[in-house]
Structure formats: C-alpha cells, structure tokens
Amino acid sequence: MTDHRKELEDNGYTILRSFLPASFVEEVTGLCNGVIDGLGQEHWELFRSQGSRPDIGDIPAFANIIAHDSIKSVFQRLNFDFDEAAYNSGAIFARPPGGPPLFWHQDWWGWNDPISYRSGIPQVNVMIYQNTTSPKNGCLRVIPGSHKRGHPIHDIEVEYDVDLCKVVDPDHPIYGSWRDEVPVCVDVGDVVVSDTRLLHSAYPNQSRSRRVMLSLSYHPDFSALPEPVKARIRSFSETDMGLTESEPIAEVVDRSVLGDRVPMALWPKKYREKIEGLIPVYKGAADPIELNFKPDLHRH
C-alpha cells in the first residue's frame, strides 16, 4: 500500500504533487474555459456558493479526460486497479473574484448501506486545478478524518437547496470556519484525491482572478459494491427510457426528448467508446438504493 493510499484512507484525502503532465492540464484547462465562458448570468447567480457547477455529463468532449492515461496513473499511484473502476460524474467549479465561501458538505449518497461505515472507499473525487490555490483565492478546505468520524458539521440543521447555493444567509454556520479545518493548497500539475464522504468546503475568493477546478468522481472497485448501490450507480449513467445494450448509440442526441441532460449511455459513439470500460454495468435485479446524503457517524 502506498503512502498516498494510507493518507487517503486515514485522512480522507491526499495530494499527488507535480503529478499531471502539462499537456494534460492544458487540455483540461481549454475544455473547462470553453464551458465556463459560455455560462449565462443566471447560472452564476444560482451557484454563487459553488462559483459554477456545469455537469460535464452533458459534454461528451470530456470523454478523453475521464479515461486519460493520466487519470489511470493516479489510480495506480493509489494502488487502485483502473480496470475495476467505474465513472460516476464530473463538474467544473469556477470561483470568480469576490465569490463567497462554499458551504460545508460531503458528497456520498449511499449512507443507507452498511458499506458506508466500513473502511473501504466506495467513491473518490479526483480534483484537477488550473490555478495555484491558497486561502486567498478560495482553495479547498477539509476536515481530516470526517469521512469516518462524526463532526459538529454533520449536526447542523440545513437544507441543501437553492437558497444555500445562492447564499441567501451568508452568516449561516454552514459557510463558516472551524478550528480543525485544513486548507488544501496546490500548484498547477498537482492532483487532489478525496474520499467522497469527506467533509469539505472552500474559502471565499478574495483575489482578482477566478479559480477553476475539474472534479471527476469514480468508484475504485465497482464490482465489490453491494447490488443496490451498483443499481443506483447504473441509473446515474442511463435514463428511464428503457435503453438496452443492443440499441445503437445516437450520434445526434434528441434534446426534445432528453432536455439538457445527455446521459453517457446516449453519448455519440466516438466519445462513448473512449470510456466504455468505465461505464457502470449492472445486470442484476436489485432495486436502486434510496439516496441518502446524511450520515449517522455518531452511532457507528
């Protein structure tokens, strides 16, 4: 087991310094900037706390990033088998100058299953930054160990809704600082990997430049997950339209049917082929587990 894997398991996150090739970071930056520059004012107003949050599941051009050899190398460094991994989702977080802090939260949705309280890692976030970060420009902050231990943040009564994203109440403790928080400062080329159960937030951006990060979420060992969890993960990448593996992949997506969301199962073939091995496949009969984002770590 690598030291980074131990850090990830013990603290809930680790940083691989100077790990990503410059050419890969440039590719990520170009794609992210193209998306961010096209966002309307309504998006920025809705996601004030996050900065921005466009879902790359709607953008098949990110297929090369999702399955890139650089990401595979990250998994290898952490002693994960990339061939056993499944992709879940991804989003771009751009924090504009003067932006408020990100609310504290954790991203795991499967707390109804006992696997959530065990030592294994059901899901990781791989974070690729396009700027050098510090508390001044809104870097990530975390509560080490909060992926497996209860914390007062878990007890805060809060609805993770539109008002929270819009920062209607900036004095709410869910945006505040905590004695045991740790800033995660990185340089371009570093990559942060976190356990999805880890409590995290971000400082306000008090600089004059936007801070951009691409977050990619994977299940390191999809086959080892309980069947109801796998069934739910599969539902994230497909639709309720009855799509089967025998049906052709659309080259042109009919947005009149799907709206703005383009699930991976309907990405154009040339993109889908790149991530074929990472698309979660579950053929069992279990019902998807009910989504639950609220842990009960004080009892476990």
- What pLDDT sits at residue 257? 35
pLDDT (0 to 100) of residue 300 = 60
Rounded (5°) CA angle 12-14-16? 165
pTM score above 0.85: yes
Which pLDDT value is given to residue 255?
Answer: 37
> Burial letters for 225-243: b for 16+ Cβ neighbours within 10 Å, e otherwise?
bbebbbbbbbebbbeeeee
How far from 153 is each of 2, 87, 273, CA to CA, in Å?
30, 28, 41
pLDDT value of position 236: 83
Domains and CATH numbers, the chain: 3-223 (2.60.120.620)
Q: Band the pLDDT of 54: cuts 50, 70, 90.
A: very high
Environment class of 154 (CB within 10 Å of its CB; exposed 0-12, middle 13-18, buried 19+): middle
- Lowest average pLDDT, out of 73-77, 143-147, 232-236, goes to 232-236
**pLDDT, tens digit, 9 for 90 and up, residues 180-213:** 999 999 999 999 999 999 999 999 999 999 999 9
